[in-house]
Amino acid sequence: MTTGRPWWLLPSGRIQPLWWVALGAAMLWIDFVMLPTAQFPVVYAVPVILAAWYSGKWPAIALAIVVPVFRLLFLVMPHNPDEGIAGLALATAFRGVVIVFVALWFGRLAEFERELDHRVEVLEGLLPICAFCKNIRNDAGEWERMEGYISRRSEAEFSHGVCPSCTEKHYPGLT
């Protein structure tokens, strides 16, 4: 039985950070056209979370800072400069800080998941192993030493010794 990734966990991998600029711009446009009066636009979180997961924390932090600033510029442009710009700037700063925390959180979560993927190597299925010499038949049909087979498919290292029963059986004079 093979175990796959849970359906709710995003696939791992890296994506070019410029895609998040395009997604951020699209979300900004949607926010500007559809919800110009939203107090805390949640649409910022989507590109930031995806950027953190697929491209790392720095592209996500950059996006988390740039998108609220551009939103502030879009809101301020049609207004008189004296009409509550300080309040808009404060709200933008608050949005930016919250979204930066979201970016850091998802960036750390993605790094942790990648590290787990790197560290967990699973050998699954049946291994055709010789009952006497313990060599394993590989995919090419050749027999190779168990240590080499496992070492190539994981980060396991082997050290050799002789157990007490084998010492007694093979080296009776040493006991």
Whether residue 2 is predicted with pLDDT greater than 60 in this model: the reply is no
Nearest to 157 by CA among 165, 168, 166, 148: 148
Q: pLDDT higher for 33 or 158? A: 158
Per-residue pLDDT tens digits for 118-132 = 666 566 677 888 888
Q: Name, in order, each residue with C-beta under 8 angstroms of 8's C-beta and a sequence gap of 6 or more.
A: none
CA dihedral 148, 153, 158, 163 (to 10 degrees): -80
At 5 the pLDDT is 62
Distance between CA atoms of residues 19 and 84, nearest Å? 34
Place of tokens 């040493």: 174
- Residue spans per domain, the chain: 18-119, 123-158
Distance between CA atoms of residues 118 and 116, nearest Å? 5
